[in-house]
Copies of this chain bind each other. A is one copy, B any other.
Amino acid sequence: MGSTLSQLVNHQVRLASRPVGMATAENWRFGTEPVAEPADGAVLVKTLVLSLDPAMRGWLNEGKSYIPPVGIGEVMRAGGVGRVIASKNPDFAPGDVVSGLLGVQEYCQAAVGVPGGRLEKIDLKVGTPAQWLNVFGMPGMTAYFGLMDIGQPKAGETLVVSGAAGAVGQTVGQLAKIKGCRVVGIAGGAAKCDWVVKELGFDACIDYKGGSVREGLKAHCPKGIDIYFDNVGGDILDHALAKLAPKARIVICGAISQYNNTAPMQGPKNYMSLLVNRARMEGMVVFDYAARFPQAIAELAGYLKDGRMKSKEDIVDGGVAAFPQTLNKLFAGENFGKLVLRVAADD
């Protein structure tokens, strides 16, 4: 086994410098490393797919957040799914499929048990590797706990979700339908909006690129918005604030419209609607709910199995070298479904 590993080369993407605005080629450095035997207690994972997430942009900035920034020169942080190819940890065996923070690289030495070294064994009978980065991964968990714990949907209420065709939005909307809500999506482009309504069963979807969000919310939310699940921030958050129903809940999940800003963040100027409507705006971080992930995954797996829920992944081939342009595709809103980078075929 040792001799086999030593023939492998690990291609990696490292952070070369901190971007100002959208990341460019100069912010990244490609490198290679030999692949070594795992150290005692560690496992060696071959990356199959990597997750591209809006939160990645925040990790590139200096400064305190819910997680430290990626350091200059470090392998770019990324969640992924891979297969264990060597193990010196009794809990993992070669052949196990795992998810965790593998980083943008082909092979990951996961020092299980240290911070960031957490690996979860996953079951490919429940979903594909890409689905394990989507509905059964962080986006799905964010959707589930953001909606259920913060949004607290009640049958008959109106839910609006931005980024409706994206990783979090698709699950939020479908889950809210299952819970009896009227569901209105906001997405960019007719194709996404059609899909959200026809395939996912949303009641309506507003195309923010093709029309007025304000008019769309007026038309599709005649009784106001009870829950707004916000993935985008910016003007769309303000339009939603202006249409709140009494006792509304806004789930702050992200603000992708603002992440590449070089100007100061745009604050929601209609926030006093919270007062007028006795409404609430609340943030959530998915890691807080880790102990309840298995229960949520089981519930979502049931919906996918019985056909009440679908998942869509936008899988880009090209390996780790394609990471920089794939990340920018995310911020341009060009992905259609959860954006995933395929690093290796699972063979």
Contacts and interface: CB of A to CB of B under 8 A. Distances in A.
B278 A280 contact: no
Given A238-B267, A267-B266, A267-B267, A279 B283 contact: yes
A269 interface: yes
Interface stretch (A126-134, A153-161, A247-255): A247-255
A16 to B, nearest CB: 26
Interface string A257-278: 0100000111111111111111
A282 interface: yes
Contact of A278 (B268, B279, B283): B283
Contact of A274 (B266, B278, B281, B288): B281
A265 B274 contact: no
Contacts of A270: 265, 267
Nearest to A66: B276
A285 interface: yes
Nearest to A281: B281
A273 B268 CA distance: 13
A65 interface: yes
A66 B279 CA distance: 12
A279 B276 contact: no
A288 B284 contact: no
Given A278-B284, A280-B282, A252 B272 contact: yes
Given A255-B272, A272-B252, A278 B285 contact: yes
A221 to B, nearest CB: 15
A275 B229 CA distance: 13
Given A276-B283, A277-B283, A280-B282, 12 more contacts: A66-B276, A233-B272, A252-B275, A258-B272, A264-B269, A266-B267, A272-B283, A275-B283, A278-B288, A280-B281, A280-B283, A281-B281
Q: Give 9 nearest A-B pairs by CB, closest first.
A: A267-B267, A275-B283, A274-B283, A267-B269, A280-B282, A265-B269, A267-B268, A281-B281, A252-B275
